[in-house]
């Protein structure tokens, strides 16, 4: 029985070696290339199941790294994923049938370990959106499950910073900060980078936004950057019950978090609330009360509402097209030039690239002209 168990694998390897030998990408059409690429990707997922399942017998990250030609850190993730697979039929079955990749399985396993039963929903999430959407969802599940297990204390102990230089001599500075400390810094840096970006464009210079972001951090660290943003630097959403109870703990169905980042300690929220603007947010089910103003300038109440995300989760904002959270911009569904209002019902977040693509679609469809404009005669 044991001699026959690996026969199919050996035959599959032999067949794959022949396919590799005969593969000539330059001779296939783009459509055929997509078909073959899909087949290779599925084969990789199926192989990943065997690697993960068998790693439980080794339970040695160093040996697994040597056998698979990967880093020890990645091998540790595989071993951890395999242990969760042993108790999660949903996760194990999805990887066994090639429905998810090993990277996806690792993200799901981390969430399943913290919140047993979460794998079923996350496997479904992994089928459609980009990988970073699954990672964000899994992270949210994990953090919410661990909020009551001294998450704040572990975050505080996990803070760190390090630096090193690369082969080009560039200095890499890596920092891991607690959410309530890191979020305002990131907002100020993005605001500074946007000013630098506008100045560069006015001078006829075009550089990636990441370059301006690097300059912004350098200016802020040197003490010469303005670093002031129009939108709130830090928003903490706290259920009224938590504050009324004395800022001691968060019960099921309540919130004490930074939208888009995750939970924070009620103690930290209380300290920040002692010197902050307090806003009341009222919602009914999944409906947030609309705030409408017929002007191009978005009222502060609307900007704050948009930053919170959709109720009742209030999980921050992400691009409605690709799910990205980096550099979100408010896009008028009904273009402002046509009279579209600056209201929560007419504003949706889109990242820079998707916003430009949507604007181009509107332009081609003739939706960037005032409704009162008269059409020129043919």
CA 359 – CA 349 distance, rounded (Å): 13
pLDDT, position 77:
93
Provide DSSP, 165-219: E-TT-PEEEEEE--HHHHHHHHHHHHHHHHHHHHHHHHTT----HHHHHHHHHHH
pLDDT, position 6:
67
pLDDT, position 120:
93
Query: Exposed/middle/buried for 281, CB within 10 Å: 0-12, 13-18, 19+?
Result: middle
CA 288 – CA 297 distance, rounded (Å): 20
Helices (H) and strands (E) in the chain, counts: 16, 9
Domain layout of the chain by residue ranges = 31-146, 157-222, 281-378
Asked whether 244 and 254 are in contact (CB, 8 A), the reply is no
pLDDT, position 199:
92
Q: What is the dihedral of CA 137, 309, 155, 221, to 10 degrees?
A: 120
- How many alpha carbons lie under 13 Å from residue 117 in its C-beta half-sphere? 1
Asked whether 116 and 142 are in contact (CB, 8 A), the reply is no
pTM of structure: 0.67
Mean pLDDT per 10-residue section of the chain, whose length is 378 residues: 67 92 92 94 94 88 92 93 94 94 95 93 90 90 87 91 93 93 90 92 92 93 73 82 88 86 89 78 65 52 72 81 80 78 76 86 82 48
DSSP state of 344: T
Give SS3 for 376: coil
Asked whether 161 and 175 are in contact (CB, 8 A), the reply is yes
Using CA atoms, how far residue 108 sits from 84, 85, 86, in Å, is 9, 10, 13
pLDDT, position 297:
57
CATH 1.10.30 given to domain 281-378: yes
Backbone dihedral region for residue 314 (phi beyond 0: left; psi -120 to 50: alpha; all else: beta): left
């Amino acid at each position: 029985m044991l001699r026959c168990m690996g026969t199919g694998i050996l035959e599959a390897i032999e067949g794959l070696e022949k396919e590799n030998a005969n593969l000539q990408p330059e001779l296939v059409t783009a459509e055929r290339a997509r078909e073959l690429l899909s087949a290779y990707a599925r084969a990789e997922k199926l192989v990943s199941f065997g690697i993960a399942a068998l790693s439980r017998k080794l339970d040695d990250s160093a040996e697994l790294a040597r056998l698979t030609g990967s880093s020890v850190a990645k091998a540790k993730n595989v071993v951890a994923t395999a242990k969760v697979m042993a108790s999660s039929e949903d996760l194990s079955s999805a990887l066994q049938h090639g429905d998810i990749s090993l990277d996806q399985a690792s993200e799901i396993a981390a969430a399943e370990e913290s919140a047993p039963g979460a794998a079923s929903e996350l496997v479904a999430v992994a089928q459609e959106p980009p990988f970073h959407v699954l990672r964000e969802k899994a992270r949210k599940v994990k953090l919410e499950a661990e909020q009551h297990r001294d998450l704040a204390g572990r975050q505080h102990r996990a803070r760190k910073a390090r630096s090193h230089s690369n082969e080009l001599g560039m200095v890499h500075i890596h920092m891991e900060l607690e959410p309530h400390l890191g979020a305002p810094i990131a907002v100020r840096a993005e605001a500074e980078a946007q000013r630098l970006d506008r100045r560069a464009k006015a001078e006829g210079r075009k550089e990636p936004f990441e370059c301006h972001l690097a300059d912004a951090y350098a200016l802020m660290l040197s003490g010469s950057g303005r670093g002031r943003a129009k939108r709130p630097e830090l928003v903490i959403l706290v259920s009224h019950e938590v504050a009324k109870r004395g800022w001691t703990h968060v019960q099921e169905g309540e919130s004490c978090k930074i939208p888009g980042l995750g939970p924070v300690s009620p103690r930290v929220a209380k300290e920040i609330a002692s010197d902050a603007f307090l806003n009341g947010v009222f919602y009914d089910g999944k409906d947030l009360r609309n705030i409408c103003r017929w002007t191009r300038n978005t009222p502060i109440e609307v900007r704050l509402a948009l930053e919170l995300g959709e109720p009742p989760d209030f999980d921050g904002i992400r691009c409605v097209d690709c799910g990205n959270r980096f550099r979100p911009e408010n896009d008028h569904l009904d273009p402002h030039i046509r009279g579209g209002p600056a209201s929560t019902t007419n504003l949706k977040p889109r990242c820079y690239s998707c916003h430009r693509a949507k604007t181009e679609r509107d332009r081609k469809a003739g939706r960037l002209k005032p409704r009162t404009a008269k059409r020129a005669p043919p």
